[in-house]
Copies of this chain bind each other. A is one copy, B any other.
Amino acid sequence: MRATIIHGAGDVRVEDVADPQLQQPTDAVVRVLRSCICGSDLWPYWSMPASEPGERIGHEFLGVVEETGSEVSGLQRGDVVVAPFVWADNTCDFCREGLQTSCRHGGMWGADGVDGGQGEAVRVPQAQGTLVNLGVGEDHALLPSLLTLSDVFPTGHHCAVTAGVNPRTTVTVIGDGAVGLSAVLAASRLGAERIILMGRHAERTDLGRQFGATDVVAERGEEGITKVRELTGGDGTHTVLECVGTRPALEMALGVARDGGVVSRVGAPQYDEAPLGFGVFFRNLTVTGGVAPARAYIDELLPDVLEGRIEPGRVFNRTVGLEQVPEGYRAMADREALKVLVQP
């Protein structure tokens, strides 16, 4: 079959690889209907040292169950399923607590001999715990929105949940990428009435307004902080959803948080050190969030997608075939595309 392999910065190729086969009785094989490119795929696309034979990549996909191992129950050939971006048994203590990203028997796509999602098919470890049956057909109109349940929408939701967003909290969302816009949608879904979106790409912030943002701040750094504070009587917002992952974004997040407030971060941090000295301490700011346990949220979010109350798939503004995945990376890296859907 064909699958995407990253060989280094700027070097993504679609190549012939072995067809996936069941290896463990807990495995399934899924034929991919839709996958996509994540903002976090761009970090290696920008910085990975050259590598041969390269690494499989992609961690967001939905598809059709082709085959299941002998210990997989509840799934059968033909089911249309979505996979969260970390696979997990969904039965260990961490999974039961809703932290499937720390599953005792889980792992990452594209690592340790596990397939990546940007290919024609995937061997899914711990299939019974990992996959969620969507109960839809292969040609369902909502496949793009259903695909966002794999990562980007639950990631925005995790950001809002861990920040404690509710109808009484004001919210700042930092970043107008697909995760930031998903965080806006998630905050709105949780009832937030005041959502300030910090971003400077009008096409994206326009979608943010449609997702529920009440204000848009294009300024960044100290100017951005000043602007958000002006909008909030000088105080900043109760919750700040940091959806970028850079150090300047985190600094801005801490700057716009109201005393006693919460900064939640879901952008994979591109820094090792965070400025949590006396000022942050004296203001009783909390820093929370982390890699989103998407699996924990899919059951809750699925009905809202299926019944059309939310349409998170609107973050996709370009679709490519599998052979055009390298072009998809380029388009996202150049900010031509917000998020690229892949239709093998």
Chain B neighbourhood of A288, CB < 8 A: 286-288
Interface residues of A in 274-297 (CB under 8 A from B): 274-278, 280-291, 293
* A278 B287 Cβ-Cβ under 8 A: no
CB distance from A328 to the nearest CB of B (A): 25
CB distance from A156 to the nearest CB of B (A): 16
Partner of A285, one of B97, B273, B276, B290: B290
* B291 A260 Cβ-Cβ under 8 A: no
The reply to whether the CB of A272 lies closer than 8 angstroms to some CB of chain B is yes
Known A-B contacts A273-B274, A278-B268; the reply to A101 vs B286 at CB < 8 A is no
**Smallest Cβ-Cβ distance to A267: which chain B residue:** B281
Chain B neighbourhood of A283, CB < 8 A: 102, 290
Known A-B contacts A274-B276, A288-B286; the reply to A94 vs B260 at CB < 8 A is yes
Chain B neighbourhood of A260, CB < 8 A: 94, 97, 99, 102
The reply to whether the CB of A34 lies closer than 8 angstroms to some CB of chain B is no
* A281 B265 Cβ-Cβ under 8 A: yes
* B282 A272 Cβ-Cβ under 8 A: no
**Smallest Cβ-Cβ distance to A97: which chain B residue:** B260
The reply to whether the CB of A193 lies closer than 8 angstroms to some CB of chain B is no
* B277 A271 Cβ-Cβ under 8 A: yes
The reply to whether the CB of A259 lies closer than 8 angstroms to some CB of chain B is yes
CB distance from A82 to the nearest CB of B (A): 21
CB distance from A95 to the nearest CB of B (A): 11
Copy tally for this chain in the complex stands at 2
Known A-B contacts A259-B94, A274-B276, A276-B274; the reply to A99 vs B284 at CB < 8 A is yes
Report the Cα distance A146→B282, complex, angstroms.
Answer: 24
**Smallest Cβ-Cβ distance to A276: which chain B residue:** B274
* A259 B291 Cβ-Cβ under 8 A: no
Interface centre among A94, A274, A275 (most CB of B within 10 A): A274
The reply to whether the CB of A110 lies closer than 8 angstroms to some CB of chain B is no
The reply to whether the CB of A269 lies closer than 8 angstroms to some CB of chain B is yes
* A102 B281 Cβ-Cβ under 8 A: no
CB distance from A135 to the nearest CB of B (A): 30
Report the Cα distance A275→B286, complex, angstroms.
Answer: 15
Chain B neighbourhood of A271, CB < 8 A: 277
**Smallest Cβ-Cβ distance to A274: which chain B residue:** B276
Interface residues of A in 252-272 (CB under 8 A from B): 259-260, 265, 268-269, 271-272
* A284 B291 Cβ-Cβ under 8 A: yes
* A276 B269 Cβ-Cβ under 8 A: yes
**Smallest Cβ-Cβ distance to A262: which chain B residue:** B288
Report the Cα distance A112→B82, complex, angstroms.
Answer: 61
Given contacts A101-B284, A274-B276, A286-B287, 15 further A-B contacts (CB under 8 A): A97-B260, A101-B282, A102-B259, A102-B283, A162-B284, A268-B281, A269-B276, A271-B277, A272-B277, A280-B290, A281-B291, A283-B290, A284-B293, A287-B287, A287-B288
Task: Sample 21 A-B pairs with CB under 8 A, ordered by A number.
Answer: A94-B259, A99-B260, A101-B284, A102-B259, A102-B260, A162-B284, A162-B286, A268-B281, A269-B277, A269-B278, A271-B277, A272-B275, A272-B278, A273-B274, A273-B277, A274-B275, A276-B287, A281-B291, A284-B289, A286-B286, A286-B288
Chain A residues in contact with chain B, CB under 8 A? 94, 97, 99, 101-102, 162, 259-260, 265, 268-269, 271-278, 280-291, 293
